[in-house]
A and B are shown apart, each in its own frame.
Chain A
């Protein structure tokens, strides 16, 4: 057996402070991390004490703390965060930027284009498109966000537990998701929502959560099964970790990425599904104001008056994009390899 050069640790510390900026704990790119991995024991240098404070005196760091630090400097997160913040503010207080009344319409102005004071023009009923787009944000954002939260919560908890414990519960849950996948959304919506008389958004949200959770449950189950086979889960078990510790500390952070991606993409689908249901007359009904209602009403006149469609549809597109960008940024921040 060759005489091993055992003390690579000493070599590491000895080569010392070479290459400041490369050895920082948050390397500028994956290239720096690659270098570290390739040149075992030779070029690993002490981390220069920067503002990150990585030395022994530095604060202990955690995945979520690091993710937050990363997010704050990510332009994608800042832009999408600002858009979402703006949407939340106008959902809560639409009168801040729109002084008119979305339900005050004048048929004589139907389908007219942009006017001073009415930048987006008028819709088929002669209502102000700008005011309606601003007021519609509340319903659309509520439907999108609440449905996504509900679906993600139900789906990932049920799917994750089924994937982790396996066996009979897993088989049962998988068959239940199969059944829900078999229900056609539009037909189910017509049947389910036509018996509901409430005019609020909640029955619509409830229906979409009911049909949406199996999608997330399947993804969560799959990624939990993948994560739980890793040796580090076995290592935690060998240390005596409880099931909840293994799930929360080891499996969840490593299984959450696909769920975030699918949930944020689905958020846009939920907003448009609400529009579809409204179009069929089983979702929200006028006098409710929502982008979905406006889009479906305007779609018949796209050749004569495209502005009626483009403004609410554009608002919907920007909202969906903002949430997808947010999900993307969060997913990347939770992966230390990309840092």
Chain B
């Protein structure tokens, strides 16, 4: 067994990014992801890599744009208000087909909100927070080890599809500690060369990286190419987990921190005879509509639990349609629902 380290979610993400070969990291400090920035500030220069505390979130994401264009693995991280500022850059990354990893350790909103855990940035992450017809891959880790694993995966997916990938965590996952088996650093030499990158036009025609075409016909073509890429991602990259769903009458749909709390609820409900299961989307975009739809055919109730007013609930209802009841239970303002509170809600829908 590999050595286990007791790490915060923020640290697991940072260390995994380093092991995934992140060469350049740019960020502006914000709670509750300060440990991520600090881990990178401490370690990146020692490895001969780039850490810049940027003057703003806007600058940080544009530094990412520059580093991604040069063909290196690059990342930025922030929390909700900072991620709002990054939306311009994310849209440009998507438009210019540049690979990058963006971490959002979500906190309560809107506005300045607070620094407590929340899942209120779901819409912004999965429906396109910036301008234009684009998506990014959105991964929702539920435990600290998974936050590390999905960070490694995020860099691979970003490179494979030349797209921004977001890790959508939250303050609870960022702050809590859990044992993590860290993966071995990847062999950078094994990665495919990025022929498209701006590395100097030596013995080839210039590479031009842009998200721009004044001709509507050409811009339409650019958009169609993006959509074809998204179709490919939808086909290949849907990830989810089902727990105790085989005989379930009710399933909770939850992602991230809420999903791990729901796992405890499943145990509690089963102990009192309620056949409760859990459906946990891991990719929030692309959303696992089909598997959730198939599950909805077998159960009476699909209960969405979120730390928001019901953002993912919209996708659940899109998937389930009229196949089952689709009640919602949520908390806002940085309040984390406890297992008991969720169980009380489950009981209301039990046979």
Q: A and B bound?
A: no
Where the two chains meet, the residues of A that have a C-beta atom closer than 8 Å to any C-beta of B are none
